[in-house]
């Protein structure tokens, strides 16, 4: 029997989606302000009033889009996962068939690139994820990420996978754990992030080569 996926609670839903350039800019300013308040004041002191002041908008304007603080934080986290999904999907688009070794590196680079683009924002987002149940996020986002990796795996010119969905799930889980641990280790210095990309590439390559079907060209070390 299939387990039902919990829906997003009403208290975490945004009130409306911006449709005009001006409203999109307002929401973007609110998102950025929330990140900045998280970094300067911490999660405990974050409030809709502080965020509105930082964004240069009234609290009433903020409430037009987000009914409470948790809904705002949830929206920020959702946007991050949406960006992750788009970046992973872009690895496949219009690039044709390529060797598994190249694809493994491309997947790792795509995943890590979103995390390291703004390390400060990523640190803030990990704080949000600890306070907001990220499993309440739309399952569509996670399926998109997995689907993007599956597309990439199926485009390999020298490898096949018996269960690409399972492989995609495990690889994404492993990369998520590596990134979380790396950003948690920032207290020891920025060198942690310097080696993150190399470690992610190694992890992705080793795992995908190990799980490629026995008898496939990738496992034999030959190309078709």
How many distinct structural domains can be found in the chain? 2
| Residue 6: inside a domain | no
Q: Which residues contact 93 (CB under 8 A, 6 or more apart)?
A: none
Residue 4 lies in a domain: no
Do 87 and 42 fall into the same domain? no
Same domain for 52 and 88, yes or no, is: no
Q: What are phi and psi of 98, to 5 degrees?
A: -140, 160
Single out the residue of 191, 87, 82, 98 nearest to residue 141, CA to CA. Answer: 82
Within-domain flag for 10: no
72 vs 86: CA distance, rounded Å: 21
CB atoms within 10 A of CB 207: 16
Distance (Å, whole) CA 107 – CA 111: 6
Q: Which of 199, 111, 204, 197 has the alpha carbon at shortest distance from 153?
A: 204
Is 89 in the same domain as 185?
Answer: yes
Residue for token pair 């997947």: 107
Considering the domain architecture, whether residues 30 and 120 belong to the same structural domain is answered as no
Written as tens digits, the pLDDT of the chain (224 aa) is 334 445 666 677 777 776 677 888 999 999 999 999 988 888 888 899 999 999 999 999 999 999 999 889 888 888 888 999 999 999 987 677 899 999 999 999 999 999 998 888 888 888 787 676 655 666 778 899 999 999 999 999 999 999 999 999 999 999 999 998 888 766 556 777 888 999 999 999 999 999 998 545 555 554 44
Q: How far apart are the first and last CA of the chain?
A: 41
33 and 141 in a single domain? The answer is: no
- Give the separation between CA 149 and CA 206, rounded to whole angstroms: 16
pTM: 0.82
Torsion angle in degrees (nearest 10) through CA of 152, 201, 122, 131: 80
In the block, tokens 């096949």 appear at 160
């Amino acid at each position: 029997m299939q387990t039902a996926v919990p829906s997003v609670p009403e208290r975490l839903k945004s009130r409306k989606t911006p449709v005009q350039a001006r409203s999109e800019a307002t929401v973007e300013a609110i998102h950025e302000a929330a990140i900045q308040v998280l970094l300067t004041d911490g999660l405990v002191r974050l409030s809709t009033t502080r965020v509105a002041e930082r964004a240069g908008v009234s609290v009433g304007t903020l409430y037009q889009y987000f009914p409470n603080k948790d809904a705002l934080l949830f929206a920020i986290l959702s946007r991050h996962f949406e960006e992750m999904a788009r970046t992973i999907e872009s690895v496949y688009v219009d690039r044709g068939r390529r060797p598994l070794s190249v694809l493994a590196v491309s997947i790792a680079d795509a995943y890590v690139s979103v995390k390291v683009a703004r390390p400060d924002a990523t640190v803030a987002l990990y704080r949000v994820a600890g306070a907001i149940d990220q499993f309440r996020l739309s399952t569509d986002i996670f399926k998109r990420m997995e689907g993007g990796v599956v597309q990439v795996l199926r485009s390999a010119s020298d490898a096949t996978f018996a269960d690409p969905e399972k492989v995609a799930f495990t690889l994404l889980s492993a990369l998520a754990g590596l990134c979380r641990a790396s950003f948690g280790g920032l207290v020891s210095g920025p060198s942690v992030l310097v080696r993150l990309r190399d470690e992610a590439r190694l992890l992705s390559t080793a795992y995908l080569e190990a799980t490629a079907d026995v008898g496939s060209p990738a496992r034999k070390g030959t190309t078709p």
